[in-house]
């Protein structure tokens, strides 16, 4: 058992070293995979639901129709939007809803990065291989004080998950992003946001994927 454990550690070190030596090549391969996946995703449309809570009370619910724009970023068209029930939202609730909107926009910059940013992530970040995961980790990448840890399938180089910590108006924003396959297309499944300074939590879910006619 001890021998097997040592062999596993040795294998992890060797794989990590290999990844370090091939950063440029690996960054280009991952970027190519990501670009191809976004191209496939551009032929779909889907629904995105955002539910925001402040101190446990729901302050916003937004249902949007989403597709990919020519720049590889999602384009959202709001179908339905509601606030705190049927009552007129208080000033505090309205401020929370605006803060949620800004946090969602900020995290979107991390979830859907450009090809150049993907290359930088692999070239400047720390890479490691563990089990079936290729991990890329970076600090101060888009915003000073941010911390990213992205996981990819080591064989297909498709996204498996993202852990994001960043700042909005000097306050922490944390996001956990999970992915799923729709047909053969890798796409975001859920995003969970935590804004502890404001006691706000946000759940974003993508559903009802359909090919464009």
Would residue 70 count as lying in a domain?
no
Cα–Cα distance for residue pair 145/60, rounded to 1 Å: 28
Q: How confident is the model at residue 16 (pLDDT cuts 50, 70, 90)?
A: very low
Would residue 104 count as lying in a domain?
yes
Cα–Cα distance for residue pair 127/9, rounded to 1 Å: 16
Would residue 157 count as lying in a domain?
yes
pLDDT in tens, 129-187: 999 999 999 999 999 999 999 999 999 999 999 999 999 999 999 999 999 999 999 99
pLDDT in tens, 49-92: 999 999 998 999 999 999 999 999 999 999 999 875 556 767 88
In total, how many domains does the chain have?
Answer: 1
| Beta-ladder partners of 63 | 49, 80
Residue 9 reports pLDDT greater than 60: no
Would residue 189 count as lying in a domain?
yes
Which pTM does this prediction carry? Answer: 0.86
Cα–Cα distance for residue pair 93/106, rounded to 1 Å: 20
Would residue 64 count as lying in a domain?
no
Confidence (pLDDT) at 171: 96
Domain that holds residue 138: 2-43+51-59+83-211
Would residue 71 count as lying in a domain?
no
pLDDT in tens, 102-144: 999 999 999 999 989 999 999 989 999 999 999 999 999 999 9
Confidence (pLDDT) at 84: 54
């Amino acid at each position: 058992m001890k021998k097997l454990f040592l062999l596993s550690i040795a294998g992890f070190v060797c794989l990590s070293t290999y990844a370090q030596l091939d950063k440029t090549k690996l960054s280009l391969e991952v970027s190519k995979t990501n670009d191809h996946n976004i191209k496939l995703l551009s032929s779909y449309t889907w629904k995105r639901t955002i539910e925001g809570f402040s101190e446990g009370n729901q302050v916003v619910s937004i249902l949007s129709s989403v597709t990919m724009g020519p720049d590889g970023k999602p384009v959202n068209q709001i179908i339905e939007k509601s606030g705190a029930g049927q009552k007129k939202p208080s000033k505090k609730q309205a401020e929370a809803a605006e803060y949620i909107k800004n946090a969602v926009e900020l995290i979107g910059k991390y979830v859907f990065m450009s090809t150049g940013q993907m290359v930088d992530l692999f070239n400047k970040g720390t890479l490691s291989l563990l089990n079936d995961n290729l991990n890329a980790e970076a600090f101060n990448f888009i915003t000073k004080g941010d911390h990213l840890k992205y996981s990819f399938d080591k064989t297909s180089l498709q996204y498996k998950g993202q852990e994001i910590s960043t700042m909005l108006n000097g306050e922490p924003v944390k996001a956990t992003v999970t992915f799923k396959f729709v047909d053969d297309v890798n796409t975001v499944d859920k995003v969970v946001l935590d804004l502890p300074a404001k006691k706000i939590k946000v759940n974003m879910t993508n559903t009802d994927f359909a090919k464009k006619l």
